[in-house]
Amino acid sequence: MTGIDDFRDRVAVVTGGASGIGKALAARLVAEGASVVIADNDEDLATKTAEEIGATPYRVDVSDAAAVQELADWTVERFGRVDFVANNAGVGPLAPFDELTLEDFRWVLDINVHGVLHGMKAFLPSLKANPAGGHILNTSSMAGLMATHGMSAYSASKYAIVALTEAVRAELEGEGSSVGLSVVTPAQVKSNIGDNSRKRPGLKERVSHGSNDDHLPEVRWMEADVAAGIILDGVRRGDLYIVTHPELLAPIAGRFDEIVKAFEAAATR
């Protein structure tokens, strides 16, 4: 599956685009000549970021399917088409399973999983109708390939994004579609995802949040702009999986080794 090799004169939408990886992606896209919509739930920050990098702000709650559809319709009406969509908005509370309520889980899934689903459902028809084709990028996490303590809600949501991307990409390839689909699995990238998580009323007071420093402390921190460069290179190649931290191969391979062992054990029964 091919990607987008040239973003000049392309129309791009980045959810969660006001800060972190989303902001870095938007800035690089603008620098490469794209018209960029920064879609974010924080209207003031989206406006500030858009003014800073030369993009267009749009307030959206990605957990609201109708609102995301309005974003898609508005983008096509405003720019005539859409070429690239980065479903990047997300929250990431690090907290023990016992301290999270069912409503906490629903909140994480509504934003992280349904936000991606809503973006794909809303934009895919326009991307398919685009004679030049297009591409969707879904932001998962290394937590979507491996899970550890304090990450039950976050990992559950990020695993779902990987699976959703894999399944829909297989369908697009089967159709011979000119729309590409990638999933990025970043590890420690400097962003404000923790701040986003603390915006849930009462969550900060109820749970013993782990810090980002506690999550895979042996892994280097990466600047968002560096991560964005790696991600867009992967989009250009049309990669299914885009990895920012190759040093995490060992624990990922270890997980799959355990799965292989389970199959081998089953074969001997």
Q: Any idea which residues carry the catalytic annotation?
A: 154
Outline where DSSP puts E strands in 144-247: 179-184, 241-242
Nearest to 119 by CA among 161, 57, 172: 161
Q: In degrees to the nearest 10, what's the CA dihedral of 31, 33, 38, 43? A: 70
Asked if 29 contacts 48 with a C-beta cutoff of 8 angstroms, the reply is no
- Neighbour tally for 63: CB within 10 Å: 20
- Neighbour tally for 223: CB within 10 Å: 11
Asked if 189 contacts 21 with a C-beta cutoff of 8 angstroms, the reply is yes
Q: Position of tokens 């460069």?
A: 229
Q: Phi, psi (5° rounding) for residue 162?
A: -60, -50
CA 122 → CA 58, 138, 176, distances in Å?
15, 14, 20
Tell me the chain's radius of gyration from C-alpha atoms: 18
Q: In degrees to the nearest 10, what's the CA dihedral of 28, 197, 185, 146? A: 170
Token digits for 214? 């506690």
